[in-house]
A and B are shown apart, each in its own frame.
Chain A
Amino acid sequence: MENSQPIPRNSLVWLLASMFAGIAPHFSRLPLWVIAVCLLCGSWRIMVYRSRWKLPGRWIKALLVFSSFAAVLGHYGTLFGPDAGTALLILGFCFKLLETHNRKDAFTVVVLGFFVVATAFFYTQSMLSAGYLLLVCFMVTAALIGLNQTPLQTDPKRTARRAFKLLLQSIPLMLVLFVFVPRVAPLWSLDLSGSRAKTGLSDRITPGDIAELSRSPELAFRVEFEGSIPDTSKLYWRGLVLDHYDGATWSRGVSNNEQSLMDREPMVAGFNGEGIPWQASVRFQGDQYRYRVIMEPTDKRWLFALPAARSENRRVGFSRDFRLLSDTPISQPFSYSVSSDLRFSLDTSLPRWLAQRNLQLPETGNPRSRQLAERLLKQSKTASSYVTQVLTFFSEKTFSYTLRPPRLTGDRIDQFLFETRQGFCSHYAGAFVYLMRSAGIPARIVAGYQGGEINPLGGHLLVHQFDAHAWAEVWLPGQGWKRADPTAVIAPSRVEQGVEEALSEEQSFLEDSVLSPLRYRSINWLTQFRFAWDYVNFAWHRSVLGYDAKLQADFLSRLLGPVDFKKLGLIMVLLTTLVLLGLAGLLFLNRRGHSRDPLLQIYLKFCKRMAAKGIRRMPGESAGEYLQRLIKKYPDKASEMEELTDLYTQATYSSNYSSNGEGSQQATLSRMKRLLRTL
């Protein structure tokens, strides 16, 4: 077909459909004017197809292109990077579709379409979106097939069927490439963080500021343990350490700018296998658990792990306060393996500067709390007995656990400890640390998640956003940092059974998320379904998204012994060939499989026998014509061949399949077989 021919309707329909479907995932990210331009181009193209409007002229095209370049530059401040690049690509796709008037252009649009599909993976790689993008791929493929069809084929459904078949056939090849193509680290890195808001932990806690804490049912991360899972009450996932209090807010360090801290002290180390200067201050003492954390994107660098953790991952570093940190903000699902010793000692001797930081308090305020600290300190001989005293104070007084505490103002700690006495984890952690520091014991707030839910299908642990928790760490001489969780004293069920149980009286669990299946845990089938869905997602994350260079190397060496590039290439070529051969064979069988009519089978056998003797039946040759040729060559067998051909022709064409008498057909068949034997 000539390249200058107009685009068939069939193809145009699919191109337009895939244009909208391909851009749809970007709708929420793109500036409004880009979407407007896309819609304009699409409708213009439709109007052109309906011969209402003309194709845009040269000047309009130039104007569109340059003004949109300028607008992208104006909007993003650059033409590069994933956001601006995606916008440019999408605009280019739309413009090309608009100006397309022959097949050659349309082929370009199809290729652009595949690229637009690929850009969506910058932003999301979930299973659902992959499925959706596969659908879009299918639509673009249909457009490609439509381009190669004659204009008379106007049934988009038939084109779709063919595209579907094509995609099905490509699956084995896709699998081979997925498994075997070497995973090379990208040559460039893209800043994908953007301005996407993520729910998750905040690095500032202001107890008493927000009157109510709303908690989302979203997943924070999954954990896959090698072996058993520790008790729920031991699952304290450390994420952040907050050691600065300004009278209202707990935050990280003196300044929020971590960089300036790092200048003063190498706070994070351990990336790419480099040494950790404060390694000596960590002592692992057994009760080891090994596990893999698969995190949802947070756009933050902090990672979550049980104390005391270490990770072999080259992208994971280790901070001075014994947290794991990633080298870049987590903008894609990220998995890392960790080993944690639940028996540990950290910082048995505390450097002076660290002790100072963890004793910091505002100069004034909260006099009653300071008095309380003094009083309790007098009653206790050692630091650890002071801790017990404070915890006993919490348990003896009428504190209660709630997600709807009253607001606090002024001397917040005083107000909380002596007046309201209602709060959730950060209130208790904050007050606890305040009391510790007032007594001269170094302490800090740790934020992270506590607990989790075991998915019985995958045997892995799900940690949701509502599992977010804050607790305290106290430094005790000779013992180092020890965890102290005042919330556990007030609401033991929070730590042992999770936040839902702790709030069972208040009924405030997930009250904002009416639609979340997590809210209806008592409905059994819904829970089953939720677990199943999570399991599928987990498998997707682990085996598809998590299939990185290391996993590939493990998998392949388990499969094939030691691997190198040469062997990989060879296997890839071999498997690809096998797949293609298999497909070819399938097509061949499919073609032959049609003739299941026994009459035809025998006749074809006859043709085959004759072909072996040198006279092959041409495809377009009817049985009669073939017979004439055969008789000319083998006049002595004329009568047999004639009878066989007659029997075949008559039995096939003188009655319908359905009305064939079983018996007479059998007779014909056996007669034909006898004749065939004589030939």
Chain B
Amino acid sequence: MLNGIYGRKQDVSIKSIEQPSHDSSDYHDLINAMVSEVETVVMGKTHQVRLALACLFANGHLLIEDLPGMGKTTLAHTLAGVLGFSFKRIQFTSDLLPADIIGAPIFDGREQRFEFQPGPVFSQLLLADEINRATPKAQSALLEAMEERQVSVDGTTHPLPVPFFVIATQNPISQTGTFPLPESQLDRFLMRIELGYPAHEAERRILQGSNPRESISELKQILGLDQLRLIQQRVESILVADPLLDYVQRLVHFSRQCSDFDFGLSPRGALALVRSARAWALIEGRDYVIPEDVQQVLPCVAEHRLRGGRGHSGHRGITLTRQLIDAVDVLE
């Protein structure tokens, strides 16, 4: 568990995982180091930070939904800094065009030909700020790139960098003039998290501290690309035992059967749940998944994929996932 035993700039033997390791505790130290590094900027949000990392390790995209000023962008910046990724940011507006995201062929006067000028999507970590402000056209350009991990312009296919990780943020209220993402596109995000207000103590520290933007530049890169790849491979090999799959299937089955849900979790949703639970188990330093892992990631994996029946409108994901967790027997 993280209980502050790691100091601010504690040096972790990063070299220990240059080879694929079968001991998850090797990763555990490294991950803890990352979490505490991020915590220096985004204070008091350990759980959300760990979820965001789990999302990254599971090779999925992340949607952060919260009010303005809650630190969405800061979190994205910090993650990019800790990971040492090339980082680009798009501020989505209603007049944003697909070409503004994926790039466009530009005429080169000297060479006398069109040359593809890559857009901001060609980066390892893309922050899509206020994604719901853009028109569906622009949104789908990004979401398509997220799914395919490549971009096709004028018949040429340009692969996106590896890793390619999208953190999108959206503002849940003041929806005037916005285009909420439809369910099908929400599905592209492995997780959706909410940051929420900071705790009393954390807020005090924020108020006492300097401008977080400045501390971002001081961040230390913890993880290299190779190591990220190793971690992602390791996530794949985390054991998911049959009793756990039974539990996941019970959850999924319940969401499909119970009339409180308009529709249940899709197989893709179930897959996302297992993938995220694996990543979470790794973060917890275990090489097998236990039901707690599933329960921890379930709200952020499932809530944007579910919709309540009986006249519920919009997303009541939290209550629904809570209901799901409470109703389905872990053991059976």
- Decide if B330 touches A595 in the complex (CB within 8 Å): no
CB of A494 to closest CB in B, whole Å:
69
- A604 to B243 CA separation, bound complex (whole angstroms): 15
Q: Which residue of B lies closest to A626 (CB)?
A: B330
| Cβ contacts B246-262/A at 8 Å (1 or 0 each) | 00000000001101011
Which A residues touch B326, using CB under 8 A? 618-620
Contacts of B262 in A (CB 8 A): 150
Contact B241 A653 (CB under 8 A): yes
Is A655 interfacial (CB 8 A cutoff)?
A: yes
A603 near B331 with CB under 8 A, answer: yes
> Contacts A152-B264, A653-B288, A654-B288; is A621 near B241 (CB within 8 Å)?
no
Interface check A594, CB cutoff 8 A? yes
Instruction: Give A613-660 interface residues, CB cut-off 8 Å to B.
Output: 618-625, 649, 652-657
Is the CB–CB distance between A623 and B330 below 8 Å? yes
Whether, in the assembled complex, A396 has its beta carbon less than 8 Å from a beta carbon of chain B, the answer is no
For A654, the chain B residues whose CB sits under 8 A away are 239, 241, 287-288
Count residues on chain B whose CB falls below 8 Å from chain A CBs.
28
Residues from chain B with a CB closer than 8 A to the CB of A594 are 332
Whether A166 is near chain B, meaning CB under 8 Å from some CB there, is no
Please indicate the chain B residues that have their CB under 8 angstroms from the CB of A604 in the complex: 331
For residue B323, which residue of chain A has the nearest CB?
A620
Q: Which residues of A contact B214 (CB under 8 A)?
A: none
The answer to whether B134 has its CB under 8 Å from any CB of chain A is no
Q: Is B5 an interface residue (CB 8 A)?
A: no
Is B17 interfacial (CB-CB < 8 Å)? no
Interface residues of B in 110-140 (CB under 8 A from A): none
In the complex, the answer to whether A619 meets B329 with C-beta atoms within 8 Å is yes
- C-alpha spacing A151/B256, complex, angstroms: 10
CA of A396 to CA of B289, assembled, Å: 102
Q: How far is the CB of B234 from chain A (nearest CB, A)?
A: 16
Q: Out of A151, A619, A621, A649, which one reaches B290, CB within 8 Å?
A: A649
Residues B290 and A653 in contact, CB atoms below 8 Å apart:
yes
CA separation between A597 and B332, bound complex, in Å?
A: 10
Pairwise interchain contact B256-A152, C-beta atoms closer than 8 A: yes
- Residues from chain B with a CB closer than 8 A to the CB of A621 are 330
For the complex, what is the distance from the CA of A657 to the CA of B244, rounded to whole Å? Answer: 11
* CB of A672 to closest CB in B, whole Å: 14
| Interface bits A578-598 vs B (CB < 8 Å: 1, else 0) | 000000000000000011010
**Pair B256/A150 contact, Cβ less than 8 Å:** yes
Chain A minimum-CB-distance residue to B262: A150
The answer to whether B332 touches A595 (Cβ under 8 A) is: yes
Contact A620 B332 (CB under 8 A): no
The 8 Å CB contact of A619, one of B244, B263, B330, is: B330
Given contacts A150-B259, A654-B288, A655-B239, contact A622 B332 (CB under 8 A): no
B325: Cβ under 8 A from any A Cβ: yes
For B263, the chain A residues whose CB sits under 8 A away are 150-152
Chain B, Cβ-Cβ closest to A648: B331
How many whole Å from B274's CB to the nearest CB in chain A? 13
Residue of B whose beta carbon sits closest to that of A658: B242
A600 touches B331 (CB 8 A): yes
Q: How far is the CB of B325 from chain A (nearest CB, A)?
A: 5
- Taking CB atoms and an 8 Å cut-off, the chain A residues in 538-589 that contact chain B are none
B48-93 CB contacts (< 8 Å) to partner A: none
Chain B contacts with A in 306-332, Cβ cutoff 8 A = 309, 325-332
Asked if A624 and B292 sit within 8 Å, CB to CB, the answer is: yes
Q: Which residue of A lies closest to B239 (CB)?
A: A654
Docked-complex contact A652 and B327, CB < 8 angstroms? no
A150→B264 CA distance, assembly (Å)? 9
Residues in B whose Cβ lies below 8 Å from that of A603:
331
Could you tell me the distance between the alpha carbons of A618 and B325 in the complex, rounded to whole angstroms? 10
CB-CB < 8 A to B331: which residues of A?
Answer: 595, 600, 603-604, 607, 623
For B288, give the chain A residue with the smallest CB separation. A654
Residue of B257, B264, B332 with highest tally of chain A CB at under 10 A: B332
Q: Given that A153-B256, A623-B291, A625-B292 are contacting pairs, would A597 and B328 also be in contact in the complex, using a CB cutoff of 8 Å? A: no
Output the residue of A150, A153, A607, A623 with the most chain B CB within 10 A: A150
Asked whether any CB of chain A lies closer than 8 Å to the CB of B295, the reply is yes
Chain A hits for B292, CB < 8 A: 622, 624-625
On whether the beta carbons of B242 and A656 are closer than 8 Å, the reply is yes
A491 CB, min distance to chain B CBs, angstroms: 73
B265-291 contacts to A, CB under 8 A, are: 287-291
A623 to B290: give the CA distance in the assembly, Å: 9
Interface residues of A in 348-364 (CB under 8 A from B): none
A1 within 8 A of B: yes
Q: From residue A164, how far is it (CB to closest CB) to chain B in Å?
A: 18
Complex Cα distance, B250 from A398, in Å, reads: 88
Kindly list chain B residues whose C-beta atoms are within 8 Å of the C-beta of A657: 241-243
Partner of B295, one of A152, A622, A649: A622
Chain B residue numbers with a CB within 8 Å of A152 are 256, 263-264
10 nearest A-B pairs in the assembled complex, by CB-CB distance: A620-B326, A619-B329, A654-B288, A622-B291, A620-B325, A653-B241, A622-B292, A653-B290, A152-B263, A622-B330
21 A-B pairs with CB atoms under 8 Å apart are: A150-B256, A150-B259, A150-B261, A150-B263, A150-B264, A150-B309, A152-B264, A595-B331, A603-B331, A607-B331, A620-B330, A622-B292, A623-B291, A624-B292, A652-B241, A653-B243, A653-B288, A654-B287, A654-B288, A655-B239, A655-B241
Extra A-B contacts (17), CB below 8 Å, given A594-B332, A620-B325, A649-B290: A150-B257, A152-B256, A600-B243, A600-B331, A618-B326, A619-B327, A620-B295, A620-B327, A622-B291, A625-B292, A652-B243, A653-B288, A654-B239, A654-B287, A656-B241, A657-B242, A657-B243
Give the A-binding residues of B (Cβ under 8 A). Answer: 239, 241-244, 256-257, 259, 261-264, 287-292, 295, 309, 325-332
